[in-house]
Amino acid sequence: MQHVFLITQSDPRSPASEAFRLVRANLKFSQVQGSFKTILITSTGPEEGKSTLAANLAVTMAQAGSTVLLVDCDLRRPRLHRTFKLKNRLGLTNVLIRAQLWNQAVQTTDIPGLSLIPSGPIPPNPSELLGSEPMQEFLESAASEYDAVVLDTPPVVAVSDALVLAPLVDGIILVVRAGKTRVDQIMEAKKLLENANGRIVGAVINAAKPNGKSYYYYHYYSSDGKER
C-alpha cells in the first residue's frame, strides 16, 4: 500500500503541486454551473491516486485560504490519518452510528485551514453506513460550516460505497491513472455514478509510475507549461 505523500506541503513549487493547484482552479471555474462544496473523489480501482488527490487538493484549497474538511470515507482501507500523522481512534464510523457528534470527530492538521475526519474503526458494513441518514445529515451541516468538504472513497467498480455517496455530494472527481486505468472500467464507473444521480465534474489524470526502480522517466504527461 502506497503512502500518501503531501507534495503540495513539502514542495509547493514542484510540477505536481502545480498540477494540484490547476485542479483546484478548474474546479473553481466549474462552479459557475452551480456551487458544489462537497466533492467526492473516486476511481475505478485501488492504487490510482484517490487519497493522494484528495489530500493534496484539500491542502491546496487550504493554502488558498479556504477552510477545508477532508473526510476519509474509505472505511475499508483508511489512510488519511497516517498522512497527517493523526490518530484514528475516533472517526467517521463513530459519527455514522451516532455514537459521536461529527464536529467532535474533527481533528486539526498542521496545515492552517485544513481539518480531517479519519475513518474511525473499520465497520463490517461500510456501504450501509455510508448510505445512512446520519451521513446525509453530517454532509449537510459540514457543508454549511466549511468552504469545502472533500471525501475520499473506495474505488467504484469493486464496492458500492462511492455509488451510495454519489447522490449526496455536489460534485464527483474521477481519478484516472495513466497506463493503469482501463477504458472499459472507467466508462463503466462513469455510467454507474451517473445512474446513481452523481454529478461528475471531471477527471484528473495521474501519471503512471514508471516501471522498476529507475529514477529516469519521461515527463511524458508533464503538465509543465500547459497554462503558459
Partner 1 sequence: MGTNGIDASFARAVDEVDLRAYLEVLFKWKWVIALITAAAVLTSAVLSYLVITPTYEAKAVLMVTQPAPEKPASSQNQQGTGVESVVESVSRLPEMTISTYVSQLKNLSVLEEVVKALNLSAKGISAQSLEKMIQVAAIKDTNLIELKVQSTDPTLASQIANTLSQRFLDFISQTNKQQLSKSVEFLDTQAQTGEGKLEAAKKALRDFQMQPRGVTFLEKQLDARIQDLSKYKTRLVDLQVQREQLAAGKAELERLLAATPKTIKVNNPLSSQSASSTTSGNAQTGGSGSKLVTVGDYEEINPAYATAAQMLDDRTVRLAETDAELAAVQKMANQLEAEVEAISAELASKRLEQDRLQREVDRWEKTQDLLNDKIVETQIARSINFGDTSLLLVSPAAPPAKPIKPNPRLNMAVAAVLGLMVAVVLSFVMEMLDNTIRTADDVEKRLGLPVLGTVPFFKPAE
Q: Which residue among 15, 46, 121, 134 contacts partner 1 (CB under 8 A)?
A: 15
What lies within 8 Å, CB to CB, of 158 at 6+ separation is 45, 46
Is residue 136 part of the contact set for partner 1 (CB under 8 A)?
Answer: no
Q: Using CA atoms, how far apart are residues 193 and 184, in angstroms rounded to an integer?
A: 14
Q: Taking CA 152 as the corner, what is the angle to CA 147 and CA 155, rounded to the nearest 5 degrees?
A: 145
Query: Using CB under 8 A, which of the segments 62-70, 120-128, 158-166, 179-187 binds partner 1?
Result: 179-187
Phi, psi of 120 (to 5 degrees): 85, -175
Looking at the DSSP assignment, which residues form a beta bridge with residue 175? 43, 204
For position 9 contacting partner 1 by CB under 8 A, the verdict is no
Min dist. Cβ of residue 45 to partner 1 (A): 11
- Cα–Cα distance for residue pair 207/196, rounded to 1 Å: 28
Tell me whether strands 114-117 and 68-72 are parallel, antiparallel or unpaired.
Answer: parallel
Between residues 76 and 180, which has the closer beta carbon with respect to partner 1? 180
3 state DSSP class of 84? coil
- Examine residue 85 and tell whether it contacts partner 1 (CB under 8 A): no
Stretch that binds partner 1, among 15-23, 122-130, 131-139, 152-160 (CB under 8 A): 15-23
Backbone angles phi, psi at 173, to 5 degrees: -110, 125
Q: Provide the greatest CA pair distance for the chain.
A: 51
Interface mask (CB under 8 A) for partner 1, residues 36-75, using x and -?
Answer: -------------x--xx----------------------
For the bound state, the minimum distance from the C-beta of residue 78 to partner 1, rounded and expressed in Å, comes to 19
What is the CA 96 to chain-centroid distance, rounded? Answer: 19
| Residue 202 near partner 1 by CB under 8 A | yes
Give the interface segment with partner 1, choosing from 23-31, 98-106, 113-121, 135-143 (CB under 8 A).
Answer: 23-31
Which residue among 77, 89, 98, 226 contacts partner 1 (CB under 8 A)? 226
Instruction: Provide the grid cell at 167.
Output: 447522490
- The one among 190, 192, 196, 199 contacting partner 1 by CB under 8 A: 190
What radius of gyration, in Å, describes the C-alpha atoms of the chain? Answer: 17
Tell me which residues touch partner 1 (CB under 8 A): 3, 5, 7, 10-11, 14-16, 19-20, 22-23, 25-27, 29-30, 49, 52-53, 173-174, 176-184, 186-187, 190, 200-212, 217-227
